[in-house]
Structure 1
Amino acid sequence: MLYHTTWLISKLDPIKYMMESPALSERMARWQILLSEYDIVYVSQKSIKGSAIADFLATRTMDEYEPLRFEFPDEDLMCIIEKECESPKEKSWKMSFDGASNALGHGVGAVLVSPEGNHYPLTARLNFFCTNNIAEYEACIMGLCAAIERNVKTLEVYGDSALVIYQIHGDWEVRDSKLVKYSDLVAELIK
């Protein structure tokens, strides 16, 4: 930020007052002094047109565009279960899952990808308090249940939670009493 001019776009008058006022008191003065190190220019929200921002973003997309990749190249990610296809006609489905838990809420998501390349996204919001690991298990279970409903026979499962992957794979022991039932349920669904 030290080498660039930052435009502060705000419709709140107190911010404009703080940025443009020559004399402030106590805390506001301290904030202004701390922010004066940076080249910040206050700009009213009405002075920036939406089409100008959209045009800028449209010109930048071609230079930095990368298509979504549903294969995770990270070697630390493991497949929950890997089974060879019984016949050349039978191709495996793929599932990627992720869960998150924070102060704003708890959510889970999974994407099923058919052998033909069709994507089936699944998302849900959890209405109970949970840890991040529980959210990861919930996401995995949601994806597995969706795959079972679609009569998927061969499924490659990918996730970014090393704890969940290694526990389900059997490399790590499930020590948290809250996760034991989740691990057991995933083991049943895998069958």
Structure 2
Amino acid sequence: MPRTSVKGQVLANLVAEFTEPSPEEVMAEKDMDEKSIGMISQQGPSHWEVYVDGVVNQKGSGVGLVLISLERIIIEKSLRLDFLATNNEAEYEALLMGMSMVQRMGGKAVELFSDSRLVMGQVQGEFEAKDERMQGYLSQVKCLQLKFKFFNLLHIPRSGNAHADSLATLATSSA
């Protein structure tokens, strides 16, 4: 039987906490008063740092995410994209996936780090999204951005994003 580390158990508990509830859990939740529901929703981390990266190579395209809560809970995600993407599309996919994960976990504040100057520049309004596909991605980011009380996207050097980059590269090696 494999041993589960403390970090692994914390991660397993966090993932279990944010999975879809069973019909029984939904009924039980409906029976709770508002005070109890408010207390439950405050248990999850509300502020996250998210490192995102997208990779395209000969083997395919993938995204890598490293989510870190204030409580130092770390979630790593490596996802292979099931469509032919450009590097900029993969970067946007990583950004959107990171934002979506935080939002689904109840996060209200997010600070995202990306090594893509183009994506960061478009989101911050410094660069214009001329391509129709980039405009679509930008629109999705702007829509998700509204769901956060605090949103910040920062550019970091590629060397500072090695963890997310390695996860994205790992995703391209899967079948």
Structure 2 residue 67 is matched with structure 1 residue 148: no
Tell whether the 8 Å contact from 1:122 to 1:143 is kept in structure 2 after alignment: no
* Structure 1 unaligned blocks of 5 or more: 1-89
Larger RCO, structure (CA 8 Å, separation 6 or more): 2
Match of 1:130 in 2: 85
Residue 183 of structure 1 aligns to which amino acid in structure 2? Answer: L
Runs of 4+ in 1 over 4 A off after TM superposition: none
Cα distance, 1:177 vs structure 2 = 1.5
Match of 1:177 in 2: 132
Residue 81 of structure 2 aligns to which amino acid in structure 1? Answer: L
Q: CA RMSD, aligned part only?
A: 1.4
| 3-state SS of paired residue (2:96) | helix
Which residue, 31, 40, 53 being the options, matches 1:98? 53
Q: Which TM-score applies when normalising by structure 2? A: 0.56
Q: Report the Cα distance in structure 2 between the residues aligned to 1:91 and 1:104, rounded to whole angstroms.
A: 36
Tell whether the 8 Å contact from 2:46 to 2:107 is kept in structure 1 after alignment: no
Match of 1:120 in 2: 75
Tell whether the 8 Å contact from 1:107 to 1:125 is kept in structure 2 after alignment: yes
Aligned residues: 102
Cα distance, 1:92 vs structure 2 = 3.2
Q: Which TM-score applies when normalising by structure 1? A: 0.51
Q: Report the Cα distance in structure 2 between the residues aligned to 1:91 and 1:137, rounded to whole angstroms.
A: 23
Larger Rg over CA atoms: 1
> Per residue, is there more helix in 1 or in 2?
2
Q: Report the Cα distance in structure 1 between the residues aligned to 2:144 and 2:66, rounded to whole angstroms.
A: 17
Match of 2:142 in 1: 187
